[in-house]
Chain A
Amino acid sequence: MSDTHAQSVAFVRDTMLPEQEPPATERGVIKWLRENLFPDWINAILTLVAIYFLYKIVSGAWPWFLNGIWSTDSLAECREILQGTTGACFSVLTERWNQLLFGFQYPNEEYWRPTLAFILLFVAAAPLLFAMYVPRKVLIFTALYPFIAFWLIWGGTIIVPIVALVGFIAAYVAFKQFERNSFAAGLGAGVLAAAVVWYVGGFLSSAMSGVLALPEVPSRDMGGFMLNFILGTVCVSLSLPIGILLALGRQSSMPIIKWICVVFIEFIRGVPLITLLFVANVVLAYFLPPGTNFDLILRVIIMITMFSSAYIAEVIRGGLAALPRGQYEAADSLGLDYPQAMRLIIMPQALKISIPGIVNVAVGLFKDTTLVSVISMFDLVGMIRGPILASTEWNGVYWELWGFAILMFFPVCYGISKYSQWLERQLATDHR
């Protein structure tokens, strides 16, 4: 450094030059464009093609959307107003929104009930979904929610859900009493207690059918997006515990139980949901005692629950298999018995690992609830294909209706998958 002597050279700069701006191509928007859109000629062509297609789509859809007509009574009137120009006929949505959301038979003056149940669902789900931000006391409401929702949506006397609730409470108390002896004894006592309460309660509810009664709505009157939502939430919440049991059964060392679970899971996973819905629709009645006639929606719920519990079982089995062997051995060496080890050590970790998979199954299941339209139930898709597109007023309105269907399903499914990614980050305890 100091080899050059200041005295022997003609000029030495003793002040810093002011910093110069980077060249125009290396800063700001131009740099970003160069790096992200036009780094080489292949990418430049791709970008230009993409921009062209985006322009085509937007320039086609934008006037269609802007010219949209919201207040006519039929497609013919829409066409009259539009006079051949492109434009959407959104009046099908403003006129039929209630059918799309609630089905065409749910009584108009009762719409507040499913809506209230829908809003309360968020309150009930909050302590499960955001356990770290919501006080634990709200969990009491979560436990009550299924009974409230049943009462709100189906109506009838409030005694029925209350009896059901008391049955569960009795089962829980009995379980706690006998759990000290053994887990199996507690389970047996619980089932017995619930059965007794429900049997007695059956007489009670038929005797007092007028107490706090909302007008009854039979299940065949449910429809629209409401039906998708009911099927989705009910089946996912029912299939989670069944799936856990199936997964444990499949991992079990008892050969008979293991093979029952394996055959069930592989059979269900091997057939399409549609065939199971056919079973619910036309075959199941043959396998029930003569004269039983319980409604289609319940049969469909049973079948979809079986379907999704098999998939959830496989996801949880993956979680169980991913746990290190040491966790099982540690639980054994602490002297925990099988139910304790599963509840306290294995399941919390296995479930955490399987969250993304479970959410995938849940989203898939929610989407698959549209399949019930094939066995002539009028869910959202069934409503669009059936009563609306077949009506003389709206025959030919496709894009507005299907766009509405996309608008209903996309936010729910996308929201759930984003939530699961968030939850995964929250639960991550490793230091990566």
Chain B
Amino acid sequence: MTTMSDPPSESFRPSQLLNDTRYRSYTFQFIALLCLIGLMAFLGINLVRNLAAAGLNISFEFLGEPAGYDINQRLLEYDSQSSHWRASVVGALNTLLVAFVGCILATIIGVVVGVLRLSKNWLISKIMSVYVEIFRNVPVLVWILIVMAVFVAVLPQPRDFRGDSPEASMFLDLFAFTGRGFYFPQPYFTVEWATGSTGWLIIIALLVGALFGTRAMLARATRIQEATGVRPNTLWINLAIWFVPLILACVIMGLAWDIPELRGFNFQGGIFARNSFIALTLALSIYTAAFIAENVRAGILAVSKGQTEAAASLGLRPNRIMNLVILPQALRVIIPPLISQYLNLTKNSSLAIAVGYMDLTGTLGGITLNQTGRAIECVLLLMLFYLTFSLAISAIMNVYNNAVKLKER
């Protein structure tokens, strides 16, 4: 507001601080600053007095002490003698694991549901609407606990797989879905030099190489098309770039599968995903997918029919219309809310504490907090982690938004 109501006067009078719109903003800001400083001082003095009364101080030394509790699902080496800091890192990685798997699952389900909801098939679109409305309008905590209840009440326990006529059996003799969690076959390499992480690094390198290879092939196809007007078929050669080196590598390094099998009272071998992890990831992704489906639907509907028709009248084929005209415009609408759904999923993963999954909220904000009694430090670190993560993603998203936004005027 830069209203110039009075002609500029020669001398400054103190009453202008209240009455003149040019100076009044300084008064307001000064008052606001005073209030802020006053509030901070009030809180700070209270904090100091309360800590002194309780005989506490602010220190992060407890992070170095042994944690003394166990974490049953972990990506890093950890035992109960490791430090609280180590426990927090393990928890943070568990948070990121849930967020990563959840985001991928939610995107897949959400896109499929969003597209199917626009389908001309009456039954399918109705079912998808019901799915979206039911999952959007019930708290995610309820969904997490319901999925957990499936594990507790419905799925068979490992003991049910035992005996001559077991009540439950493994799926295809490869997967075991039990109330304790899911057991999957685990691939590993048998050749001496490729065991451990070496083999996996080679596989990752091959995949990255294939990505660049296919991009180069597509660029070449575009060049040829621009020169001659005929676009060479790239499908088979791209498939070959992806799969031939991969299969060769697997054969050379001796790929084998470690299949879970029942020994005693439990399954051994394979990859074990604990029930709390599966319940949390699954519930978060089907809940978030309902929101993503709405975003996808809105994005597709936001591209006006005229765009499709214009592209068709230029002579583009349907798949080229989709790739070159509709998707780029729909993605511009879809991506920003999609990213904020990812952030929501990550923040909602802190509900892990309700099913006993040891994410950062469960380790640092749960057991560590309760054991050490260092509430302020723990909650501060907890907030800092989520804040850093959110701000980093927001910053990346702003860069993306600036890159794809409509260039006007």
Contact = CB atoms under 8 A, between A and B. Distances in A.
B365 to A, nearest CB: 6
Given A46-B121, A275-B365, A414-B133, A371 B141 contact: yes
A95 interface: no
A98 to B, nearest CB: 20
Given A50-B123, A257-B29, A270 B391 contact: yes
A420 interface: no
Given A51-B123, A275-B361, A283-B379, A256 B33 contact: yes
Interface in B35-77: 36, 43, 46-47, 49-51, 53
A272 interface: yes
Contacts of A374: 351, 353-354
B347 interface: yes
A269 interface: yes
A398 B127 CA distance: 25
Given A253-B1, A272-B386, A409-B138, A43 B47 contact: no
Contact of A46 (B124, B138, B375): B124
B407 interface: no
Interface stretch (A18-26, A114-122, A127-135, A362-370): A362-370
A43 B32 CA distance: 63
B350 A274 contact: yes
B145 interface: yes
Interface string B106-128: 00000000000001111110010
Interface stretch (B82-90, B146-154, B314-322): B146-154
A37 B123 contact: yes
Contact of A286 (B51, B123, B369, B383): B51
Contacts of A210: none
A310 B391 CA distance: 15
A114 B193 CA distance: 72
B28 interface: yes
A274 B351 contact: yes
Contacts of A368: 139
B211 to A, nearest CB: 30
Interface stretch (A61-69, A139-147, A193-201, A287-295): A287-295
Contacts of B32: 254, 256-257, 260
A271 B53 CA distance: 30
A355 interface: no
A218 interface: no
A409 B140 CA distance: 11
A202 interface: no
Contacts, number: 164
Contacts of B382: 271, 275, 278
Interface residues of A, number: 62
Contacts of B145: 381, 384-385, 402
Contacts of A173: none
Interface in A250-307: 253-257, 260, 266-267, 269-275, 278-279, 282-283, 285-290
B137 A290 contact: no
Given A36-B121, A39-B121, A373-B141, A275 B383 contact: yes
A266 B391 contact: yes
A413 interface: yes
A55 interface: no
Interface string A205-247: 0000000000000000000000000000000000000000000
A176 to B, nearest CB: 20
B152 A398 contact: yes
A36 B120 contact: yes
A82 to B, nearest CB: 15
A100 B353 CA distance: 22
Given A363-B137, A381-B141, A402 B146 contact: yes
A39 B121 CA distance: 8
Interface string B357-391: 00001000100010000011001001100110011
B25 interface: yes
Given A272-B348, A368-B139, A287 B120 contact: no
A107 interface: no
Contacts of A410: 134, 137-138
A278 B379 contact: yes
A39 B153 CA distance: 41
A290 B47 contact: no
B361 A413 contact: no
B390 A290 contact: no
B361 A274 contact: yes
A255 B26 CA distance: 10
Contacts of B53: 290
Contacts of A341: 1
A396 B145 CA distance: 13
Contact of B387 (A267, A337, A363): A267
B35 to A, nearest CB: 9
Contacts of B121: 36-37, 39, 43, 46-47
A406 interface: yes
A406 B142 contact: yes
B305 to A, nearest CB: 15
A50 B25 CA distance: 64
A275 B142 contact: no
Nearest to B376: A283
A93 B383 CA distance: 39
B3 interface: yes
A341 B379 CA distance: 42
A399 B382 CA distance: 34
Name which of A54, A337, A367, A368 has the most chain B CB atoms within 10 A of its CB. A367
Contacts of B387: 267, 270-271
Contacts of B133: 414
Interface in B229-264: none
A402 B149 contact: yes
B376 A286 contact: yes
B406 to A, nearest CB: 15
B379 A414 contact: no
A332 interface: yes
Name which of B142, B354, B376 has the most chain A CB atoms within 10 A of its CB. B142
B43 A275 contact: no
A417 B354 CA distance: 28
A255 B124 CA distance: 53
Name which of B43, B119, B141, B383 has the most chain A CB atoms within 10 A of its CB. B141
A405 interface: yes
A337 B365 contact: no
Contacts of A112: none
A338 interface: yes
A272 B390 CA distance: 10
Contacts of B43: 287
A267 B387 CA distance: 7
Contacts of A398: 146, 149, 152-153
14 contacts: A36-B123, A253-B1, A256-B33, A257-B28, A270-B387, A272-B347, A272-B348, A278-B379, A287-B43, A288-B46, A288-B50, A338-B1, A385-B145, A413-B138
The 6 closest A-B pairs by CB, nearest first: A413-B137, A36-B122, A270-B390, A272-B347, A367-B139, A270-B387
